[in-house]
């Protein structure tokens, strides 16, 4: 490992250790002032880590693979240029995945792969072509083309820099709760009079207790159990007619419909450093400000799912979250 890679690992390890002690900079606080403070901390970690990971990518020949579960992610457009940072950070983990698959929806980008991704291919990354399923490309082609039918699957985002304990904590959670969805970050679904409240009013999850009302957000990483993956395979392309631009909505709905609980692995969610992208802001505006999530939620959740959600108690912080790119 080159010195820059070692420094990146040390930086992210220290940041994660500080966060465990004082809840900064990754933990989702309950008050807006602390939320802004943590946002500043994440940005500083992201800038420094990105510089170090860029240097490490140019020099490292170390494998990014290990013995952990497969990790699947997608990228597109201008985000492909910085997707290497997410993969590099995963490759620095205490536990590394046995397979990392990056799905791209452009034959040109797969054939003429970005130079930094090409170097990662030599170290274990798989770059594969997929039909454009929008954000569902993160997991759907893996299930239809590569999944063995019995293993859990971890999903990651292409614009997040993950700390070294990221995957090992997901795997430990899956070992202890093997039939549940386990995630680093979640919201609590707002329910009133048998219906769902607007998505923008949902509050951060403040419990590690399993619940149907825990809504995993893919930004910080999720590990899905084989039982849910089988249900997703059976539902096939149904998401294209209900919530084509909201993968978290579809994944939560299918879990609730099949009585599969969701669990945030620690009482407070973690939002890891973000590599900024204009496309992140646009998707946020479309799905939250433009109420795209609410429209897709209304088109997705069945009466059975709504009834299950209405029966579940909520465990939330009292102040609804401010808008951020990780929603």
How far apart, in whole angstroms, are the C-alpha atoms of residue 129 and residue 107?
6
State the pTM of this model. 0.92
> Domains of the chain by range and CATH?
3-311 (3.90.550.10)
- β 125-129/100-104 pair status: parallel
Q: How confident is the model at residue 277 (pLDDT cuts 50, 70, 90)?
A: low
Q: How confident is the model at residue 276 (pLDDT cuts 50, 70, 90)?
A: confident
pLDDT at 94: 97
How far apart, in whole angstroms, are the C-alpha atoms of residue 219 and residue 227?
22
pLDDT at 312: 81
Question: What does the pLDDT look like over 23-80, one tens digit per residue?
Answer: 999 998 767 778 889 999 999 999 999 999 999 999 999 999 999 999 999 999 999 9
Say which DSSP state 288 is in: I
Q: How confident is the model at residue 281 (pLDDT cuts 50, 70, 90)?
A: very low
Helical residues (DSSP H) of the chain, grouped into ranges: 3-22, 32-59, 83-91, 107-111, 115-121, 140-145, 166-176, 226-235, 239-242, 247-257, 278-284, 292-300, 303-311
Residues contacting residue 4 through CB under 8 Å, at least 6 positions apart: 52, 53, 55, 56, 59
pLDDT higher for 185 or 317?
A: 185
State the first-to-last Cα distance of the chain, in angstroms, to the nearest integer: 34
Q: How confident is the model at residue 315 (pLDDT cuts 50, 70, 90)?
A: low
């Amino acid at each position: 490992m080159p010195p820059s890679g070692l420094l990146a690992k040390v930086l992210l390890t220290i940041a994660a250790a500080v966060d465990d002690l004082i809840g900064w900079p990754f933990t989702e606080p309950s008050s807006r002032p602390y939320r802004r403070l943590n946002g500043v901390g994440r940005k500083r970690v992201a800038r420094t880590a990105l510089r170090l990971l860029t240097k490490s990518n140019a020099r490292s020949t170390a494998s990014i693979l290990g013995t952990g579960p497969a990790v699947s992610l997608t990228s597109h457009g201008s985000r492909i240029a910085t997707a290497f940072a997410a993969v590099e950070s995963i490759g620095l983990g205490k536990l590394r995945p046995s397979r990392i698959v990056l799905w791209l929806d452009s034959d040109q980008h797969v054939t003429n792969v970005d130079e930094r991704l090409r170097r990662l291919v030599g170290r274990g990354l798989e770059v594969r072509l997929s039909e454009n399923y929008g954000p569902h490309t993160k997991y759907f082609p893996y299930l239809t083309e590569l999944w063995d039918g019995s293993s859990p699957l971890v999903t990651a985002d292409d614009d997040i820099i993950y700390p070294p304990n990221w995957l090992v904590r997901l795997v430990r959670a899956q070992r202890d709760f093997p039939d549940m969805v386990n995630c680093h970050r979640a919201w609590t679904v707002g329910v009133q009079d048998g219906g769902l409240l607007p998505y923008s009013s949902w509050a951060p999850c403040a419990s590690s207790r399993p619940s149907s009302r825990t809504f995993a957000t893919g930004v910080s990483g999720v590990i899905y159990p084989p039982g849910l993956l089988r249900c997703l395979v059976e539902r096939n392309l149904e998401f294209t007619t209900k919530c084509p631009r909201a993968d978290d909505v579809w994944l939560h709905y299918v879990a609730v419909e099949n009585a599969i609980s969701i669990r945030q692995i620690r009482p407070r969610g973690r939002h890891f450093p973000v590599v900024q992208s204009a496309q992140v802001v646009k998707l946020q505006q479309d799905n939250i400000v433009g109420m795209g999530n609410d429209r897709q939620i209304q088109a997705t959740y069945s009466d059975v799912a709504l009834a299950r959600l209405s029966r579940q108690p909520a465990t939330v912080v009292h102040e609804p979250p401010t808008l951020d790119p990780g929603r």
